[in-house]
């Protein structure tokens, strides 16, 4: 069944003692298996412990990110002039209809897989895993991107190359950068770290949790879909948009802390254990890793634009600034 192969593999659960009974912890029955047998899991009712240094680190990261966002918005670091309907809805390929088709296929495929995963994982348990968060965001992105392509087709692909203040456009623009980054990060971490580690420490049967349809989709095909999108669209990465990657990780961190505090369960991933003295180093490393992978994705888009010879309009920024100034006036 999917339950036995999916929950650990797809989400990259690296906590080897999750199903082992710990001393001084009360037992409680978990959900029934598909065979009708009652299984038991161990949990803790102890209060969630957070290292004081970790509190300081998280507060510094959150405040720092907010400050960068505020200052960047005032100084134009976010370069919304690149967020045009032409960049989002047009293509580097021979015809923008190809981009519309690939977005349609990507959305239908990813949405179908996500629904299958959520249906097979009872009580919303799938959302406690970071992989499912990222795959859900990928589905949302392809929905927005498909909507952009449909709008472009209805307009005969006569799209403005001057940016306007539009939440729809900016959300698509930002989600492309976040999803591209996270697809690379999730896949690289699983196949270069988690899978080799499990293979070396366990027999081949243990590795089956990584080699199944759902795991391959969310840890492999997801990147293929995003690379196709990257190759066909005309969107770029912006340095200051790394702040959105940080906000995304903060959102999951807050959710994980709330989940552990409310359920008494162990953290989903061992490196999220807030009670360990090494926790501040783990958390700092996770934030740094996300920024590193953002710039890996940034480099891919830069190389694509160089290879395709894509040039931005020389007056794009001035047109954008002029339009926003006039709207304010």
* pLDDT band at residue 9 using 50, 70 and 90 as cut-offs: very low
The enclosing H or E element of 299 equals helix 279-308
Place of tokens 């005032």: 74
Asked if residues 74 and 223 have their Cβ atoms less than 8 Å apart, the reply is: no
Q: When comparing pLDDT for 49 and 182, which is higher?
A: 182
pLDDT at 307 (0 to 100): 78
The whole-number average pLDDT for the span 64-80 is 95
The total of other beta-carbon atoms located within 10 Å of residue 68's CB is: 15
How far is the first Cα of the chain from the last one, in angstroms, to the nearest whole number?
Answer: 62
pLDDT at 164 (0 to 100): 85
The structure's pTM equals 0.80
> For 13-27, 65-79, 102-116, 273-287, which range has the lowest pLDDT when averaged over its residues?
13-27
What pLDDT digit, counting tens, does each position of 129-182 carry?
899 999 999 999 999 999 999 999 999 989 888 888 899 999 999 999 999 999
Coil, helix or strand at residue 30: strand
Query: From residue 168, how far is each of 34, 110, 146, 151, 174 by CA, in Å?
Result: 42, 21, 12, 12, 10
Coil, helix or strand at residue 243: helix
pLDDT at 310 (0 to 100): 65
What pLDDT digit, counting tens, does each position of 263-301 carry?
888 888 888 888 888 999 999 999 999 999 999 999 999
As a whole number of angstroms, the distance between CA 162 and CA 80 comes to 10
Report domain extents, the chain. 2-328
């Amino acid at each position: 069944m999917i339950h036995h192969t999916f929950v650990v593999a797809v989400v990259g659960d690296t906590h080897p003692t999750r199903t082992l009974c710990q001393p001084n912890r009360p037992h409680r029955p978990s959900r029934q298996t598909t065979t009708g047998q009652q299984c038991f899991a161990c949990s803790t009712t102890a209060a969630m412990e957070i290292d004081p240094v970790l509190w300081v680190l998280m507060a510094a990261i959150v405040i720092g990110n907010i400050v960068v966002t505020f200052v960047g918005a005032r100084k134009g670091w976010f370069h919304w002039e690149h967020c045009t309907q032409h960049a989002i809805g047009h293509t580097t390929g021979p015809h923008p209809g190809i981009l519309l088709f690939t977005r349609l296929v990507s959305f239908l495929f990813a949405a179908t897989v996500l629904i299958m995963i959520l249906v097979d994982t009872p009580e919303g348990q799938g959302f406690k895993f970071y992989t499912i968060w990222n795959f859900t965001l990928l589905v949302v992105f392809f929905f927005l991107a498909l909507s952009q392509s449909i709008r472009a087709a209805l307009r005969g692909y006569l799209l403005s190359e001057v940016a306007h203040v539009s939440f729809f456009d900016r959300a698509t623009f930002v989600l492309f950068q976040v999803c591209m980054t996270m697809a690379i990060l999730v896949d690289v971490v699983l196949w270069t770290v988690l899978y080799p580690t499990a293979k070396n420490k366990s027999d081949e049967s243990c590795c089956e949790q990584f080699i199944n349809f759902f795991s391959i989709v969310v840890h492999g095909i997801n990147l293929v879909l995003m690379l196709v999108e990257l190759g066909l669209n005309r969107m770029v990465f912006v340095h200051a948009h790394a702040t959105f990657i940080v906000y995304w990780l903060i959102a999951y961190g807050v959710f994980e802390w709330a989940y552990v505090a409310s359920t008494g369960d162990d953290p989903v991933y061992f490196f999220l254990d807030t009670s360990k003295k090494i926790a501040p180093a783990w958390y700092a490393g996770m934030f740094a890793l996300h920024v590193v992978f953002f710039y890996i994705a940034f480099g891919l888009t830069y190389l694509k634009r160089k290879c395709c010879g894509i040039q931005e309009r020389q007056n794009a920024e001035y047109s954008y600034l002029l339009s926003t100034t006039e709207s304010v006036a």
